[in-house]
Structure 1
């Protein structure tokens, strides 16, 4: 505590001589005593070690050690410089001299007190100060000598700073001669150097060392960048080096198993197929749960409008029209070779600045940019093969025919009927074909070629790249997917370093031709004695027979589906321009202009050659055409301000968004063509039919947003943002809403007491965030009355009638998600061990969904806000360790784990709503109520079930007896990667693991014993079916009769027997590479030459008996096992 001294003055009393003598003697004694005490205090030894500590903190420590009180005016603390001192066992007065050297403060020791005051400036002092001020100039480069534009150069302890220009150069005026210059740049170790040393060096060059710590890797955030060390958000980053290890055509697939809180699921093994992406769970009951995709600052669609081919699959129905499903995934039109990094933003601090568009998280894709320096040419060649990784154990011909004959016997039939071609002699009963080998046993060819050139100087640099990618299928067809891509980047800065312009563009042309029907289902179900695919002359074999006096084919040849083609030609353009001008040293005006155009041209044929000879006589060729387009533009002006305030750095941003997206889609069919050769010409049709409604929708969006970030000594971090969004998808009274976030972080490892007492801890940070985001993924015009012209209604007086298709709902408004996140980041032993843990809780309320209506309204549903709340919680953990380092050998491990939980926590009056029976309070949105399966009745051989009271019944009530809840959400998921390197060799192995419940494929499809056209084969497990009275089994008796036991089989499809353990551990990716030695590179004048082999989906450990535990389907092609070999050369 600091003392305040008050001196009172008054008149001295008249005293006698004796008293006066006593007082004089007493005074002498007291003075002698005080001098002795003072001498003892001055002799007190001081030990103190501080780095950039506040003066107040130093004084507190001095008072404790010396016993002196300090009298300090408040203005002293305001002007005092941070104190750096390291003294051991020195006298108090010597300690004061050391501490107050070069401080603008005088001190005076008197009567056990130290009084501080501000130094009075004089002419000589001012002249000395001016003489000691110097100018500092230099250039900042990396270890390769390349300039680092945008690096921060500041005077330690002062508000004087600047940034390097495009050449890496900087200049600071009037810097104190004894000052320390601090140079920092994201991804590099911070460097400190004395100003005097810099000034003494002509053309000084400061080399920053690349930081090996993942804490210093650059992370891209909304409208800026940060690092894991200084971030207040929950962000995961995957770099280009990791993406390049995966031989995939869709960059989303490279994220599988690498990012906590993110689950990516392939829907099919076709190139360009659908991909389901969820960031921290499903927030909405029905409507869009896709994250926001942003490519170089430009929002990108998450769904396509393609409608002719469901084989490719998609994550959700297209929100523009719930009847129009998008085939494939739009991210497959982004070349992975052009990507520099992918950042997954999860919490409110990271996503709130995007407002309504990022309620389900955001995935930011940053493409590669040009770099100053000598011209650099890179070529990457890769080729390989893909195969179906697993085969089902199915019945052979002997077992199959035995099952079929037993089914006829069980049904009381004397023998096979006219259409039992597998038994009645139409097909050879001694023939046996492995249809999995025949239809799925082929090899898909994989080829990829990438090239790029980069270069430039201090003011202008560039990157241009091109790529070609092709994949075929494993089917016995000529189908393939071919992609051609172009990418460019141009950066320019004016000579005065004030005006900057950046241009980016990515273009891809994709031609994807696949079969009209996925042959996987046929490979699983075709009878093993089905006919050969082709006749001896190579023509399609229809195995025709005389049936009821007519010559008819006995089967539908699988190859006939390849005679009909589906082809989609897609062009995709993503471009943007970023212009900025530095109005003042700390103030920048910036604007981003983005444009996207995704166009698809579809064609599917109905050729005569796909029909049997008899059918061709009465048919004509047909075709269907489709065109769709998603075109959008966005303008985002911004004002950015940064300044050093005290010992901290303030960054402020104010911006606005104007966005427009127009979506169109048309489909038309033609018939009566003269031949198969003219099917691609729509004008050759004798008749055109418009069976499908056209789509034309415009989405408009605008916003005003701001963000403040304050960093105090890299120790205390605060970030806040606010945004006001407007969306055209809501009524005029509800179009606007406000969203915000607040976040803070404490880097406790920068505290002195931590540095002293926990030397093993190299980094530690606690962070928390809370905020709101919105969701408007409901499609356009959902609040309006809509009409359409349905197919099949005759015109009235020559005019097509309009029919109401949607009810008016002006009350439609925003769905809102409140996000809460707590996290801790820790580094141990100089960051050799990095630990990251997060807890998140997202609550989505005012849900947007379909609400069921009475039939009397004339509509099935209306889109409205539902008073329900969905909660997603998750524990996320990631651990990175450097296990071994040295002697040329390195071994690192990365582990991530996510434990999610999805729950409907509120839904007032749910029992009276259309969700009754489908959703349960306290349960997951994916949870289903199913029947209780009780096996097979030993007497009848039929499936039996439990009713709602637990009684065993043969035919339950599907409406009231479905009482068992079953949840298919993953219980936990994650990935484990190990990287080994030795000299020029590197081996990476990534395992992905998922704990989940899935669909039991043994109970789906045809009934055991039934024959339906071509199909009837079953998994070998059906051999354990019930055969006679008394048998105990979980598979009912064989039967092909639709009236006998069919209802039992149908009920089983809605019972718990259809669920099984679908957990798996998959060796998702392996990459082995070798780079030639440096001496060879020098000899061959190359920067690098690397040979590599890569594998995807190499091995899966699972109890799941189906083809694939990820897709869980017997009717769609599973993800392929891919093995490639390649070479990368840098010239």
Structure 2
């Protein structure tokens, strides 16, 4: 804990020092401003304020001198200052507002107001990776969310902020503990390998390893999110690239889509201070409907009665040994707590005419809903610096994001799986002195269900993401550019296992598991860009190269035999060190890429992209591969016959793309024989079998789309149809045991297809001086299919996949109802061989979502704003917990079995009944509709009057209340329909209140 706070203080001190240096540099720059009479003779200082039609100041309006490369942006008060000659003309422009031109003449003060322009929203700049585009001119499919949408959510990872907001992007939360990695799939699953389906993360131009980090805690099943250390408040936008035209420029790294995260930049002119804070609480929003003590005891007695079995202390200790009047709501006990959460952030921005900066930091903490002292804390710092030379030829952009966190996670006790089905009259977990109760549980021959409770897993991580971009315009339209990045991620995890967590009758010692991961990478990308207009023909050309190297180190060992619990983790105090292992891998990647973009009269667009990649993960014969794409668009609304005959159609575009991307997301050195040292001296043993001939996975993407705007773009509709095929599948192919190896890296002759429809709709319903209301809607219909796999019946995947069906399936038995004599579940023996195996699993259950989407609304009335997002999903799910008659609680739906009616089998604790129950779990019987409609986010804000805020020295002051996962409408009987095939808590209901102030 002390080290954590030391790190936090060092970050804050670093930020303050950088702020001081930048302010001193700005002061010197200001002092050096030319002020000779010669300069003033030709130019004069023009200043003023830019407001909207309501008189409110506009931030970030570009004020540029016409026909000159000279301009500034307005500050938070809408003020600007620029040197101009009397003969110059100033151009005032801002996204969403109509551009105005004003002649300087003899004026020294020019203050204007700008009118809203709905049509200009199509000109919003979109980050396409190596270049920028707009929604109007984009030939690819790019989804975008902005800072306003991201900041409305009290989250740890920025990925979770995308839920329900993007068509074609599925994100599921895997655990309730903060820091757990979420699942993200962009247009489905392309690879048979789990690690082959992660998208590419790019943060300020720097690629970040997207594979979750390993953990020895319960998060080991899902991993730790590598984006945890980012500051949510410092994100300007997140773009997701989906089709071939958008992703092909990233080659093999863009096969599963690209997530571009752009952090905030400073504003020019003057200085400003932003301060934000919120505090709130999170709880589990749902409970299972389980039996109370009296209901449970009635069920247990009826089960024994049906079996004709006399209860004994061995087969019915819950009836004869445990207290018949005791009742414990185990759900409330295990995860009924309240997790407090808080966040504070601060940012200092400023700049001059040529230099701007943003310096910020934040602190985030969240407690736990589980019993025990568990929490998550992180401190982040960020710096963004931009500088442009006086002649606008040279530009420098620096972005640094650094974060440290301390994740004090659950040790090895699963609080939300089998433990919630404990008998409601089971003994207490703890003794009066706080120790685990072993006596009462041992009396029934059981272990305490919270064995391992005092274990503790603490993960400390440091994450640095830095990038510097340099560019220089050689001649008009020709620019050289270099982007250089460096990332460092260090994670150190200690899992303490004290002796008091386990039964004292067993010979268990104090011990600890140590796990350390270190990821470092650097990247250099030199580029040359050319932009030129030849009459109505506009050309944009880009050529560049990528040189990247990643180094990963993993260390793990077990230290055992500590004399005292207080010494656990101190390696020098351990009696022995066992299972020590260290892996060191290097990955090198190189590429050349190019893009040619043509447009004629801003109506006809053609985009050509090519890339040649080289990866160290392949053998010398297959190390390089070529990828490319073509994208086209036609803005048909610019044609005279459309303008003249369809005046209500303000915008219309047809677009299409086709191309290939690759995939090299496999382990390193798979093409070589691998050996490890034996534990004894002087020996090696083989651990990996060489295969120098495997090659790249290939993903071919085809898309067609249409975008429409009506009534000056007050209503906008987008429709996309895509078809992606991934072939030459890279897998660890299983080998027979007699070979001495479990797998060998190889290409399988399998083809996976993802297709679907995506619909987005945006509308400005009301827009006047007092009331504004806009709506956005997205809907996705995804389809996944294993198109071909020759001789799959003879492969090791014969019992996993079926040709013509999705990858994510369950092979199930056919349920044939209740046996009329025993009233136990029965299933069909297809081949009538007297046993049940995969030959009898003839039912194929699709576990994918049928469709999903979101509906978002933003309403503003004067100083009050309301935002809410509904997320919806159509899917099937699995529900268990209807085991009838055994020791352990059940869902209350089995109460109908007391009278021998209903769909559930007769109450029994016999072996035959248990076997029937286990079989029926692998049929469609427990499958139900798990669709849901969820109020994902809700934000209500109030802007304090400007007279008040100005009187205390603030520029604006906003108070807000925000909610997350407030309401879920569903027929699903499990804890969370977002995870319909597991008894797991994925999302917490969170309510926070806070404020945001600008000075």
TM-score, with length taken from structure 1: 0.79
Deviations 1:379-424 (A, max 9, x none): 1110001111011111111222233334444555432244754233
1:447 maps to 342
CA contact (8 A) 1:387 1:444 kept: yes
1:238 aligns with 2:117: no
1:389 maps to 285
Deviations 1:332-365 (A, max 9, x none): 2211111000001111111110010011111100
**Paired residue secondary structure (1:778):** coil
Equivalent positions of 1:353-502 (< 5 A) are 353-418=249-314, 420-425=316-321, 427-502=322-397
CA drift of 1:309 comes to 1.7
CA drift of 1:640 comes to 1.0
**Paired residue secondary structure (2:175):** coil
Q: 1:1023 aligns with which of 871, 881, 895?
A: 895
CA drift of 1:140 comes to 12
CA contact (8 A) 1:503 1:578 kept: yes
CA drift of 1:778 comes to 1.2
1:752 aligns with 2:663: no
Deviations 1:309-349 (A, max 9, x none): 233642xxxxxxxxxxxx22112221111100000111111
Deviations 1:999-1054 (A, max 9, x none): 22335xxx43333xxxx111111223387xxx45533334444x434433332232
**Paired residue secondary structure (2:320):** coil
CA drift of 1:818 comes to 1.0
CA contact (8 A) 1:843 1:872 kept: yes
Q: 1:679 aligns with which of 542, 546, 568?
A: 568
Deviations 1:365-387 (A, max 9, x none): 00011111221101111000111
CA contact (8 A) 1:181 1:192 kept: no
CA contact (8 A) 1:881 1:893 kept: yes
1:988 maps to 867
CA contact (8 A) 1:761 1:829 kept: yes
1:1008 maps to 884
**Paired residue secondary structure (1:1057):** coil
CA drift of 1:269 comes to 1.1
1:527 maps to 423
Q: Distance in 1 between matches of 2:685 and 2:384?
A: 50
Aligned CA distance change for structure 1 residues 227 and 590 (closer, same or farther; 3 Å)? same
CA contact (8 A) 2:63 2:91 kept: no
Q: 1:1035 aligns with which of 893, 904, 909?
A: 904
CA contact (8 A) 1:188 1:208 kept: no
Aligned CA distance change for structure 1 residues 243 and 720 (closer, same or farther; 3 Å)? same
Where does the alignment leave 5 or more consecutive residues of structure 1 unmatched? 1-133, 155-160, 315-326
**Paired residue secondary structure (2:773):** strand
CA contact (8 A) 1:418 1:424 kept: no
Which is greater in Rg? Answer: 1
CA drift of 1:210 comes to 6.8
**Paired residue secondary structure (2:224):** coil
Deviations 1:1060-1100 (A, max 9, x none): 21111101110000001222233233211000000000111
1:292 aligns with 2:183: no
CA drift of 1:620 comes to 2.2
Q: Distance in 2 between matches of 1:312 and 1:430?
A: 39
1:594 maps to 485
CA drift of 1:198 comes to 6.7
CA drift of 1:973 comes to 0.3
CA contact (8 A) 2:69 2:392 kept: no
Deviations 1:815-853 (A, max 9, x none): 111111111111111111111111111111111123333
1:569 aligns with 2:460: yes
Aligned CA distance change for structure 1 residues 328 and 663 (closer, same or farther; 3 Å)? same
Q: CA RMSD in A?
A: 3.0
Deviates more, 1:596-605 or 1:885-894: 885-894
CA contact (8 A) 2:213 2:226 kept: no
Where does the alignment leave 5 or more consecutive residues of structure 2 unmatched? 1-41, 52-56, 75-79
Q: 2:133 aligns with which of 209, 221, 226?
A: 226
Aligned CA distance change for structure 1 residues 546 and 1059 (closer, same or farther; 3 Å)? closer
Q: 1:1123 aligns with which of 969, 991, 994?
A: 991
1:258 aligns with 2:165: yes
CA contact (8 A) 1:273 1:313 kept: no
Equivalent positions of 1:685-696 (< 5 A) are 685-690=574-579, 693-696=581-584
2:685 maps to 803
CA drift of 1:553 comes to 7.6
**Paired residue secondary structure (2:894):** helix
Q: Distance in 2 between matches of 1:303 and 1:589?
A: 33
2:3 maps to none
**Paired residue secondary structure (2:979):** coil
Aligned CA distance change for structure 1 residues 545 and 636 (closer, same or farther; 3 Å)? closer
Q: 2:942 aligns with which of 1074, 1078, 1082?
A: 1074
CA contact (8 A) 1:1026 1:1036 kept: no
1:972 aligns with 2:972: no
Equivalent positions of 1:191-202 (< 5 A) are 191=99
2:591 maps to 703
CA drift of 1:505 comes to 0.7
1:279 maps to 186
**Paired residue secondary structure (2:745):** strand
Q: Distance in 2 between matches of 1:591 and 1:140?
A: 37
Equivalent positions of 1:699-738 (< 5 A) are 699-738=587-626
**Paired residue secondary structure (2:941):** strand
Equivalent positions of 1:926-937 (< 5 A) are 926-937=808-819
Q: Distance in 2 between matches of 1:672 and 1:187?
A: 66
Deviates more, 1:1114-1123 or 1:637-646: 1114-1123
**Paired residue secondary structure (1:733):** helix
Q: 2:917 aligns with which of 1049, 1056, 1059?
A: 1049
Aligned CA distance change for structure 1 residues 423 and 599 (closer, same or farther; 3 Å)? same
Aligned CA distance change for structure 1 residues 1050 and 138 (closer, same or farther; 3 Å)? same
CA contact (8 A) 2:70 2:392 kept: no
CA contact (8 A) 1:186 1:217 kept: no
CA drift of 1:807 comes to 1.8
Deviations 1:957-1009 (A, max 9, x none): 22211111110111100001122110000111100000011222335xxx433
Equivalent positions of 1:609-1008 (< 5 A) are 609-615=500-506, 618-690=507-579, 693-788=581-676, 795=680, 798-799=681-682, 801-948=683-830, 957-1002=836-881, 1007-1008=883-884
CA drift of 1:542 comes to 2.8
Aligned CA distance change for structure 1 residues 421 and 360 (closer, same or farther; 3 Å)? same
Deviations 1:66-97 (A, max 9, x none): xxxxxxxxxxxxxxxxxxxxxxxxxxxxxxxx
Equivalent positions of 1:28-47 (< 5 A) are none
CA drift of 1:238 comes to 0.2
Deviations 1:906-944 (A, max 9, x none): 222323322224222221111232111122212023221
